[in-house]
Amino acid sequence: MGVMSAAQIRHMQESGRIVRMVLVGLRRASVPGVSTAELDGMANELIRSEGGSPSFLGYRGYPASVCISVNSVVVHGIPGPTKLAEGDLVSLDVGVVKSGYHGDAADSFLVGEATDPEAARLVGVTYEALGLGIDAARPGNRVGDIGAAVQRHVEHAGFSVVRDLVGHGIGRRLHEDPQVPNYGRPGTGMPLKPGMAIAIEPMVNRGGWHVRILDDGWTIVTEDGSLSAHAEHTVVVTGGEPLVLTA
């Protein structure tokens, strides 16, 4: 688990800056007809042009630079020849390592003119839940307060939070302790301390929370085929307001 010094936080801010730049560029390029492999190639070039490396490429054998998860794909969608279409719910997940420190963030949005109001609400609720989770990342709180804040908001909206995948500590490694579930009970789990760097990443399904993994060993889809959205930030706990490194 990382409790970061000011110098380490500066390195993570630089990785976080590149993550955001890539997310902005990929989102702009996510128009009907573009393939997810093309977006992956763009991401790799952008990351390397900033002196970073894609955190995900080769991680446990992951074969691409970013994850692109469309519609009922929850997370870990592998870029390929499939082209984006009008109305697709796209989740982009980007990790960058530079000078030995990782940043990790994800965005979800609808391609083109958003047509399905319920899909738009799913995306909105996912970002609201992420915001509430970040707001709970304060000393005096515990990891369970983050998950409880996320879960309460999502379920109140009539959606469900994925249980099988969780947020995580982050720093010199992409995944460090503690695990940061998107569900839980207030006042439980590891106490939050200034300097702790964590990735908070609610995965929200329109239907039930159950997921399954495809035969490629990576792609996670909703069991009931319902739409899923994902939003993530890398955050440092401070003495005051949480510091979002990937904003």
Binding site for Co ion (CB under 5 A): 104, 199, 201
CB 111 within 8 A of CB 22: no
Cis status of the peptide bond prior to 181, with omega within 30 of 0 = no
- Chain mean position to CA 47: 17
Interacting partner of 101 out of ligand MF3, Co ion, none (Cβ under 5 to 8 A depending on kind): none
Q: For ligand MF3, give the closer residue by CB, 199 or 204.
A: 199
**How many residues in total does the chain contain?**
247
**Closer Cβ to ligand MF3, 103 or 242, answer by number:** 103
Give 78 or 111: the residue with its C-beta nearer to ligand MF3.
Answer: 78
* Contact (Cβ atoms closer than 8 angstroms) between residue 166 and residue 38: no
Q: Which structure tokens are listed for 168?
A: 């995580």
The whole-angstrom distance between residue 34's C-alpha and the CA centroid of its chain comes to 22
Whole-angstrom distance, CA of residue 239 vs CA of residue 243? 10
Torsion sign, CA atoms 210, 149, 77, 198: negative
Strand partners, 89: 110
Contacts with ligand MF3, 15-34, as mask; x by CB under 6 A: --------------------
Written as one letter, the residue type at 243 is: L
What count of Cα atoms within 13 Å lies in the side-chain half-sphere of residue 184? Answer: 25
Considering only 56, 101, 159, 183, the residue that binds ligand MF3 (CB under 6 A) is 56
Of 4-12, 34-42, 59-67, 153-161, the window that binds ligand MF3 (rule: CB under 6 A) is 59-67
**The entry of Co ion, ligand MF3, none that residue 183 binds, CB within 5 to 8 Å by partner kind:** none
Stretch that binds ligand MF3, among 55-63, 113-121, 146-154, 180-188 (CB under 6 A): 55-63
CB nearer Co ion, residue 132 or residue 197: 197
Looking at beta carbons only, is 136 or 199 nearer to ligand MF3?
199
Question: Pick from 49, 59, 225, 247: which binds ligand MF3 (CB under 6 A)?
Answer: 59
- Closest to Co ion by CB, 87 vs 245, is 245
Distant-in-sequence, close-in-space partners of 203: CB < 8 Å, separation ≥ 6: 74, 75, 161, 162, 165, 182, 228, 229, 230
For residue 83, list its beta bridge partners. Answer: 35
What is the footprint of ligand MF3 within residues 60-119 (CB under 6 A)? 62, 67, 76, 93, 95, 104
# chain residues binding ligand MF3, by CB under 6 A: 12
Work out how close the CB of 131 gets to Co ion at its nearest, in angstroms, rounded to a whole number.
Answer: 17
Where does residue 126 rank: exposed (0-12), middle (13-18), buried (19+ CB within 10 A)? buried
Contacting ligand MF3 within 220-239 (CB under 6 A): 232
**199 in contact with ligand MF3 (CB under 6 A):** yes
Residues that bind ligand MF3 (CB under 6 A): 56, 59, 62, 67, 76, 93, 95, 104, 168, 199, 201, 232
